[in-house]
Amino acid sequence: MNHRERVLTALNHQEPDRCPMQVSFTPEFAARLEADLSLKGQGLHNPHGGGNTYALERALDEDMLLTSVGWVNGYYQDGYQNVDSYKDEWGVTWKTVEYDTPYGKGKYTEPFGHPLAPQADERALETYHAPEPDRPELYTEAQRVLAEFKDEYWIVGVTPTTIFETAWALRGYEQLMMDLSGQPDLANRILDIPYSYHKAVTQRLVRMGVDMI
């Protein structure tokens, strides 16, 4: 059976020839795997903000291909290894943090600048606008994946970190937790921002024909 049939068989509570598989990697580990497998010039895609390419996933015989749209795509922006910080389209500032591994130094990113933090302009919430979720360019990758691979693979539309994590990135983690306790109406207004955005994204991906969210 092909990859798509394998997933469908498992979802129908029947026994496939093997367990369906999907694995996501950090950009650095994905690059090491691609080098080991001599995969060159295949281009990135961005599941969970990671470094998988479709060529890598297919070479590893994975059954599910992920196409990601949402705040999570800010996790690793192009060139993040070469800068100390950057700001994504949501206004969240990320810093690049270095760490040691047995194979050398690595880098990951974490949010540390929050556009709706208390020290921001007091009118920030009233004037803040999330990115537009209906921009056609957000879905170019999803269109290509569906056109090229849906007959063989199970296509997953990925919108992780959908509500809570995006909200605390906008507000600051500790502050959002205090808001939930002391200012629940304000917390709900902030939570509504990523909820509305990712709801629209999810509905668009479903209309396009992904198999799973």
Spell out the residues 6+ positions from residue 34 whose beta carbon is closer than 8 angstroms to its own: 40, 42, 53, 55, 56
The C-alpha atoms of residue 160 and residue 46 are separated, in whole angstroms, by 12
Residue 141 C-alpha from the chain's centroid:
13
* Within a domain: 8: no
* Within a domain: 41: yes
Say if residues 163 and 171 touch (Cβ distance below 8 Å).
no
* Within a domain: 195: yes
Average pLDDT (139-158) is 94
The pLDDT score that the predictor gives to residue 204 is 97
* Within a domain: 213: no
Q: pLDDT tens, 26-56?
A: 888 888 888 899 987 666 666 666 778 888 9
The pLDDT score that the predictor gives to residue 83 is 86
* Within a domain: 11: no
* Within a domain: 155: yes
* Within a domain: 33: yes
* Within a domain: 118: yes
The total of structural domains in the chain comes to: 1
- Domain hosting 167: range is 19-208
* Residues 25, 151, 211, 142, CA torsion sign: positive
